[in-house]
Amino acid sequence: MSTPSPTKSRSLLSILAPHPPRPPQEVNSRAGRNVPAAVMTAAVLLGLVGLSLAYKIEVFVGLVTVFVLAGLWEIAGAFLARNIRIPLIPLLPGGAGMMLATWAWGIEHGLIVFLVSAAVSLLWRTYMTADNALTDAIAGVFALAWIGVFAMFAVGLAALSQGALAVAALVLLPVASDTGGWLAGITFGKHPIAPSISPKKSWEGFAGSVAGALLAAFITVWFGLGLPWYAAVIIGAVTPIFATAGDFAESLLKRDLGVKDMGSIFPGHGGVLDRVDSLLFCAPILYVILTYGFGLN
């Protein structure tokens, strides 16, 4: 059997922006979660968010920025499974700039930074004239849109007059939705929603997600933020839809890339994106409902 031909010489981008040390693990149906480690990791993450909100809201913004940078680095490793190299050099400062611009001047300015970063990424990767340059550049813009743009709305929530409570709602709603869905799913789950995408997601589990989200919404939105009871009902009903969409979207991406997890930074949980997929999808809709729907500013 003939040996593969040597790869072409590495571009300047390969030297300046090496990819993460290793791609995520390949899909393995026998692989399972380390439940004690997963519980401890979740507790630590929630503790970090809680402490950042209690100490100073700017700390939370910094935490989101770190998560965005880690997520971009992580998704670069996942794309390696399909031999796609996203241009990290313009993407990383672009992601950080989006968070800072949103915090300082609002969502609109964060979107401007995104558009500039996307254009620079396209030009940067095309200028390298390597194989698959257009595919790599488009994948990079996709990564920045998915991680950076969605995360901007979490920063936008933090910038509101009741920012700490709004962020608490953002964090607790998906957690309650996931917990309710998990409990109902393992107890009553019989009818899968989309077995080809995520066979463990059932309609019974989704009902539990709605129940959990409604409970969290009444605590955070009605009691915490002081909004009308029907605001809690709307948010509690909508959150599980977007949280489930986030789960499905990442499941589809991981399946297409042929990886089990986006990363392995969190014991028992996988990577950053494996932990915040639901939260990322919930942030924009929560921001829109609170600001445009109920006038929170």
- Model pLDDT for residues 98-114, shown as the tens digit of each residue: 999 999 999 999 999 99
Distant-in-sequence, close-in-space partners of 44: CB < 8 Å, separation ≥ 6:
none
Least confident of 41-45, 226-230, 243-247: 41-45
Average pLDDT on 265-272 reads 66
Q: What pLDDT score does 4 carry?
A: 43
> DSSP assignment, residue 80?
G
Q: What rounded mean pLDDT belongs to the chain? A: 82
259 within 8 A of 25, measured Cβ to Cβ? yes
Distant-in-sequence, close-in-space partners of 63: CB < 8 Å, separation ≥ 6:
48, 49, 52
Distance CA 217, CA 225 (A): 10
Least confident of 87-96, 128-137, 164-173, 273-282: 128-137
Q: What pLDDT score does 179 carry?
A: 86
Q: Distance between the two ends of the chain, CA-based, in angstroms?
A: 66
Which tens digit of pLDDT belongs to each residue from 127-177? 876 678 888 989 999 999 999 999 999 999 999 999 999 999 998 898 888
Distance CA 92, CA 112 (A): 16
Whether pTM > 0.75 for this model: the answer is yes
Distance CA 235, CA 217 (A): 7
What is the Cα 116 distance to its own chain's centre? 21
Indicate the pLDDT class of residue 48, thresholds 50, 70 and 90: confident
Distance CA 141, CA 148 (A): 10
Average pLDDT on 200-205 reads 80
53 within 8 A of 167, measured Cβ to Cβ? yes
Conformation bin of residue 84: beta by default, left when phi > 0, alpha when psi is -120 to 50: beta
Exposure string over 139-166, b if 16+ CB within 10 A, otherwise e: bbbebbebbbbbbbbbbbbbbbebbbbb
Q: Name which of 118, 146, 141 is nearest 249 in CA terms.
A: 146
Q: Is the model's pLDDT at 198 over the cut of 80?
A: no
Average pLDDT on 210-226 reads 95
